[in-house]
């Protein structure tokens, strides 16, 4: 794991996109920062990034274009983080958010760029670690932190090391078998399964029952006419 750290940066993902060609091609590069001044999540939503209390990281690496289930890379990272937090009974809000007690504690952003025979992957990870309730309450959606849930301060460096090690191992599995080794754990961890949901895929809103997880990480929804429709991205 090649590591780069900043006290403050606009966005770890933006840095990865700008300077990635200079990173070691045979390693995962992990860019972290104490503070992001322009952090963002999916659909360019701003990600609250107060200084020194959370994990803000981007993982940059290359994979062959023929890697199985490439579109499920974000779910693999989500599985890695959920595995690290297993003792807190995390739930996954499809496709790549982690909740504790019904509130978001972690989000993953995946960006893929096809370059020749390779795919450049950037996985952005934001984890609310020691964020105080006063800051959490400023977020426009229900959010929590590990400190808020457990009542004690966490060692951010130690938590990051656990995530790095878990993801290194998980990525090796993914390279060989795609999403298959993660499917069952991911599906067991899903929240809202069996409930009615609404998902907007960028073009259309789908309303139906949260049915199951497809073999490649897509979400299967049972529509009112009892047919199954699979979506691969959705906004709230």
Q: What tens digit of pLDDT does each residue of 100-133 get?
A: 999 999 999 999 999 889 999 999 999 999 999 8
Q: Does residue 80 sit in the same domain as residue 97? A: yes
Instruction: State which residues form the domain around 203.
Output: 196-231
CA dist 75 to 39, 54, 147, 153, Å? 20, 21, 24, 27
Q: Does residue 203 sit in the same domain as residue 155? A: no
Tokens of 119: 């795919």
Contact 146, 154 (CB under 8 A): yes
Domains held by the chain: number: 2
Percent of the chain at pLDDT > 70 equals 94
Q: Does residue 208 sit in the same domain as residue 225? A: yes
Q: Does residue 141 sit in the same domain as residue 226? A: no
pLDDT at residue 151, as a whole number = 95
Q: Does residue 110 sit in the same domain as residue 15? A: yes
Q: Does residue 205 sit in the same domain as residue 161? A: no
Select from 235, 90, 106, 110 the least CA-distant residue to 171.
110
- CATH number for the domain spanning 176: value is 3.30.930.10
Q: Does residue 96 sit in the same domain as residue 204? A: no
Q: Which residues contact 149 (CB under 8 A, 6 or more apart)?
A: 88, 100, 101, 105
Domain assignment present for 236: no
């Amino acid at each position: 794991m090649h590591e780069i750290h900043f006290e403050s940066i606009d966005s770890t993902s933006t840095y990865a996109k700008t300077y990635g060609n200079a990173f070691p091609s045979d390693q995962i590069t992990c860019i972290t920062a104490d503070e992001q001044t322009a952090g963002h999540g999916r659909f360019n939503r701003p990600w609250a990034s107060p200084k020194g209390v959370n994990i803000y990281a981007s993982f940059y690496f290359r994979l062959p274009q023929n890697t199985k289930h490439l579109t499920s890379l974000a779910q693999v990272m989500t599985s890695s983080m959920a595995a690290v937090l297993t003792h807190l009974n995390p739930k996954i809000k499809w496709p790549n958010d982690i909740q504790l007690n019904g509130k978001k504690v972690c989000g993953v952003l995946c960006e893929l760029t096809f370059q020749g025979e390779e795919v450049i992957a950037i996985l952005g990870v934001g984890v609310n670690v020691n964020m105080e309730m006063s800051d959490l309450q400023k977020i426009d959606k229900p959010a929590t932190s590990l400190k808020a849930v457990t009542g004690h301060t966490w060692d951010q460096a130690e938590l990051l090391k656990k995530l790095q090690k878990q993801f290194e191992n998980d990525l090796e599995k993914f390279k060989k078998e795609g999403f298959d080794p993660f499917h069952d754990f991911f599906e067991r961890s899903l929240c809202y399964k069996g409930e009615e949901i609404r998902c907007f895929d960028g073009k259309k809103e789908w309303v139906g029952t949260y049915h199951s997880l497809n073999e490649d990480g897509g979400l299967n929804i049972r529509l009112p006419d009892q047919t199954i429709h699979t979506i691969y991205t959705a906004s709230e």
